[in-house]
Amino acid sequence: MSASLKRITAFARVKPTSDFPQDVLKFRADNKTIDVFVERDVSKGVVNNKQTNWSFKLDGVLHNASQDMVYNVLATGLVSQALNGYNGTIMCYGQTGAGKTYTMTGMTESYLNRGIIPRAIQQVFKSVEEHGSQFITVRISYMEIYNETIFDLLSMMPLGAAMDVPLSVVESPYGVSVKGLTIHPAPTEEVALNLLFEGNLNRSVGQHALNTRSSRSHCIFTIYIECHSRILSDARYVTSKINLVDLAGSERLAKSKSEGQGLKEATYINKSLSFLEQVILALSDRNREHIPFRQSKLTYTLKDSLGGNCNTVLVANICSEAIHIIETLSTLRFASRMKWVMTEPIVNEKFDAERMVKNLEKDVLYLKEELAMHNSLVRRGLGWPGQAELRLGLPQMQVKHQEEMLLEHVGHTAQKLHNNACFSPSLPFCQAGLVDAEGHLVGEVDGQGFGIGVAPFSSKPGGKKSKAKKGKDLSSPTSKKEGPVSPQSGKEVEPVSPSRSQVTTSGKEPEVKETRELDTISVDTHRSDSAAKEEASTRPSSPPARPAAFEDFKNERGSEINRIFKENKGILNDRKKKLSEVAHRLNLLKQEMDTARQALEAQKLEREQQGEYLNDEGQIIIDEEEFLLIMKLKDLRKQYRADYSELRDLRSEVQYCQHLVDQCRNRLLTEFDIWYNESFLIPEEVQEVLRPGGAIRLGMIPINRVLTLVSNSSSLVGRLPTISCRRLICCSVVTAKPLFHLLGLYQNHVYQIADKQWHTAS
Ligand SMILES: Nc1ncnc2c1ncn2[C@@H]1O[C@H](COP(=O)(O)OP(=O)(O)OP(=O)(O)O)[C@@H](O)[C@H]1O
């Protein structure tokens, strides 16, 4: 085994339960081994050779572990390594409902329970601040593989012929990448978190018997890092990427009771996971020559992470209940096989060819100047004819030789640069003159990663695109390449956007607005049949005033989300208060430090004026007052650093809590809208099709079925395959009969429906 080969590390994370089966699962004291005991199946007869106990040794077992601890064990090292140029992948695998999304993203309601992705973002940006000597750029992409099709969760390109150009995995000498996936610059932690939140809103989720918010796709969040030295004018730099993978959960259909679209999704999920298993089996067998990476999009996309130059960590999420023991066994089997897979992490060192050429040109110039100076010195010198030539001869020849070599090198490097460009995976984009969201030439810098370049067109059928926007193409920020555009609103993503996300300082709760974005988290708007019928029968002849209805809603149907909203806001306000306290403290410390520094300067001046005393070793002797001032300044500096670190953490916490509050507020308002519309506005026959068992199921909705319900609008809407749960809001509008009845309320949406869009009006 070569020294640089490294095994994939595999950890088990156990979902807590109040009903822990002591006789079925046992964790040994080494905190690495799990013993599983399954009772002999009596139905198989007395002679039954089936194994009944197993033992799995992994790299660690995380039982009753907090999110903080999980991050420290699994991710801190990997992220630090990424900052030194090593690629890293963390992947969550396990049965549905076992806690993969909880581990990867965490709970959206709580800062403490945030998962690996937001914490990794925080660690990366903390390092960016701390590494003053390095110029670090961070970029983000977020994609999902749903029913064997890749979607860009951060796609924001104007709609074109896009739907006909699906994203695809491509391979090149630089590794695998996803052609057309957008990569977004993230200059600050807030922008990166915003991209995470935006992407999460677009994820495909559904509901089944084992999980009310089950991921129906495999999601990959990638952080791309590029570090240049600020100090050295060095052509060398390092790049890396961190892939954070939340796999969809395997599910037993008998248990999950998935049907219809859910069944189709489950079939795709199970199939792709079984391909993943086959790849892992092949990789762990050293005699196997062919590894079937290309069998599925998932295995092909993860090729670098599984068998390439990556630090890879697997988290096997397991449910500890006895009822799930078979799934737990299969997850643990997968994890222990993973441990046999080798990767070969290497530093991704790159050379900026352009800078190299410039450096070499500078060298040539310098040598030429030296030569000229030498010549003039020789000419001015005494000497007899011929002496100058003799003196000049040798150095001139040397310099000339070096110059030629350098020029040759320059030419060589330039040629290499040209060749690289030609072999770059992004060649088709180069030729087409496309650039990524940052304005980089495609593949210009790293050419690796899961995504290179820009989705040339829309990538997700039914995504949030707008033909209206297409009309405005020329003026749109994207077409001007001025920077990233919010996938939701089409507005530019600002590094800090308090106006969009901040809680009003007045402390007043936002009023219900008639016209506002409906682009929010999906919510379960279905009610039981009887409840709906009851409401329908008690529906008033004219709808109540919205503000009054909102108050009722907050106290009754929306009380839970209202409670969470208030709780989050309380936490946010508390953190903001702490933040301003720490900021105030820092200001005082700064003043104190300035005063101490001035006093020290004065002391020093006085000492210098009076004449200095030296000890035997020649060191200056200072008086007690000066010594005390130095010590005081040292203590103050130490305190300042500690407080500054606290301030930075609090700032991150405030940003995160702010997102949570915004999400909750949006959700509250959206739920209210849905409830209000269903209770007072949308005709009963339309609601009929949206009820459980009706023509449309919550979760993934075959759009064609929705469209046929609209008597005269089908010609308006073209082919659109499926839409996810969150777009149900739009759906209920589409199905409203007559369609234009709701024009006043939903004019933006109706306008967009007419343009074949499912996108929030900006
Ligand atoms: N370690 C944990 N501590 C507390 N709650 C947890 C933990 N793990 C999971 N949960 C809870 O269990 C539920 C299901 O978790 P989650 O959605 O993360 O499962 P999943 O494995 O991603 O499922 P799927 O594959 O269906 O998407 C969530 O409500 C989550 O909050």
Structure confidence by residue, pLDDT tens digits, 447-492 = 333 322 333 333 343 434 333 333 333 333 333 333 333 333 333 3
| CATH 3.40.850.10 for the 6-40+50-157+173-350 domain, yes or no | yes
| Calpha distance 272→747 (Å, rounded) | 41
What is the phi/psi pair of residue 72, to 5°? -60, -40
Report DSSP state, residue 480: T
In this structure, the number of other CB atoms found within 10 A of the CB of residue 326 comes to 12
The widest CA-to-CA distance across the chain, in whole angstroms, is 119
- In this structure, the residue with its CA closest to atom 10 of ligand 1 is 99
What percent of the chain stands above pLDDT 90? 22
Lowest mean pLDDT among 83-97, 415-429, 614-628: 415-429
> If DSSP codes are grouped into helix, strand and coil, which group holds residue 239?
strand
Region 295-302: mean pLDDT is 91
Query: 11, 13, 15: which to mutate for ligand 1, most atoms within 8 A of CB?
Result: 15
Segment 359-364 long-range contacts (CB within 8 Å, at least 24 positions apart): 359/233, 359/235, 360/406, 360/409, 360/410, 360/413, 361/410, 363/406, 364/403, 364/406, 364/407, 364/410
Closest C-alpha to ligand 1, atom 11:
99
Q: Average pLDDT in the 629-657 region? A: 89
Where residue 506 falls among pLDDT bands split at 50, 70, 90? Answer: very low
CA distance 717 to 165: 19
Q: What is the pLDDT of residue 377?
A: 63
Pocket of ligand 1 (CB under 6 A): 15-16, 94, 96-102, 107, 211, 213-215, 248-249, 317
**Residue bearing the bigger pLDDT, 72 or 496:** 72
Q: Which two structure tokens, joined as six digits, stand for 554?
A: 């907050």
Instruction: Give the Cα separation of 366 and 350 in Å (integer).
Output: 26
Q: What is the pLDDT of residue 447?
A: 32
Hunting for tokens 């701390």 — which residue is that? 130
Answer whether residue 308 shows pLDDT above 60. Answer: yes
Distance CA 122, CA 156 (A): 25
Q: Which helix (H) or strand (E) holds 218?
A: strand 218-229
For residues 445 and 439, give the distance between their C-alpha atoms in angstroms, rounded to a whole number.
12
Residue 415 has pLDDT above 80, yes or no: no
ipTM of the complex in this document:
0.98
Whole-number Å distance, alpha carbon 103 to ligand 1 midpoint, is: 8
CA of 253 to the centre of ligand 1 (A): 18
99 among annotated binding-site residues: yes
Answer whether residue 350 shows pLDDT above 60: yes
For CA atoms 481, 485, 491, 493, give the dihedral sign: negative
Residue 252 burial (CB < 10 Å; 0-12/13-18/19+)? middle
Provide the residue ranges of all domains of the chain, joining segments of one domain with +.
Answer: 6-40+50-157+173-350, 352-423, 532-681, 682-762
- 96 in a labelled binding site: yes
- Long-range contacts of 431-440, Cβ-Cβ distance < 8 Å, separation of 24 or more: 432/456, 435/481, 436/182, 436/183, 437/156, 437/182, 437/183, 437/184, 437/185, 437/478, 437/483, 437/484, 437/485, 438/139, 438/183, 438/184, 438/185, 438/483, 438/484, 439/481, 439/483
Can you give the pLDDT at residue 216? 79
The pLDDT tens digits for 710-758 are 433 333 333 333 333 333 333 333 333 333 333 333 333 332 333 333 3
Ligand 1, residue 216: give the atom nearest the CA: 27
| Separation between Cα atoms, residue 431 and residue 700, nearest integer Å | 38
Distance 62 CA to ligand 1 centre (A): 15
Q: Can the peptide bond before residue 738 be classed as cis, meaning omega within 30 degrees of 0?
A: yes
CB 78 within 8 A of CB 311: yes
